[in-house]
Amino acid sequence: MTRFESSYKPSMFMALLFAALLAGGGIGRVFAAVGPGVTVAPGTLVGAATEPTVISSSPSNRATNVPTSTNTSDNVVTGTAVTATFSQPMDPETVSSSSAGNLLTFTVTETSGNDVPGTVAMNDANTVATFTPTSSALNPNTSYTATVTTAAKNAVGIAMAHPITWGFTTNAIALTGQTPVALGKAGIFAILTKSGITDVFPSAITGDVGASPITGAAIHVTCAEMVTGTIYSVNAAGPLPCRVTDPTLLTKAVANMQTAYTNAAGRTLPNFLNLGAGHIGGLTLVPGLYKWTTAVSISTNVTLSGGANDVWIFQIAGTLTQASATQMILEGGAQPKNIFWQASGAVAIGTTAHAEGVILAKTKIAMKTGASANGRLLAQTAVTLEQNAVTAP
What is the tens place of the pLDDT at every residue in 343-381? 999 999 999 999 999 999 999 999 999 999 999 999 999
**Regarding beta strands 296-298 and 312-316, do their DSSP bridges make them parallel or antiparallel, or are they unpaired?**
unpaired
Q: Are strands 383-386 and 197-200 parallel, antiparallel or unpaired?
A: parallel
What's phi and psi for 186, nearest 5 deg? Answer: -65, -20
Q: Which residues contact 365 (CB under 8 A, 6 or more apart)?
A: 346, 347, 349, 359, 377, 379, 382, 383, 384
Q: How many CA atoms lie within 13 A of 135 on its CB side?
A: 10
CATH 2.60.40.1220 domain range(s) in the chain: 2-177
Segment 298-320 shows an average pLDDT of 96
E-assigned strands of 218-287? 226-228, 231-233, 243-245, 272-273, 284-285
Domain 2-177 in CATH 2.60.40.1220: yes
How many residues can be counted in the chain? 393
Q: Do residues 332 and 350 touch, judged by C-beta distance below 8 A?
A: no
**DSSP letters for 136-198:** S-PPTT-EEEEEE-TT-BBTTSPBPSS-EEEEEEE-SS--EEEPPPP-GGGGGEEEEESS-EE
| pLDDT at 37 exceeding the cut of 50 | no
Tens digits of per-residue pLDDT, 168-225?
Answer: 999 999 999 999 999 999 999 999 999 999 999 999 999 999 999 999 999 999 999 9
Q: What is the DSSP string of 22-58?
A: HHTTS----B----TT----B--STTS-----EEEEE
Average pLDDT estimate for 31-37:
35
Q: 134-159 pLDDT, tens per residue?
A: 999 999 999 999 999 999 999 999 99
State the DSSP H helix or E strand holding residue 354, giving kind and residue range, or none if neither: strand 354-361
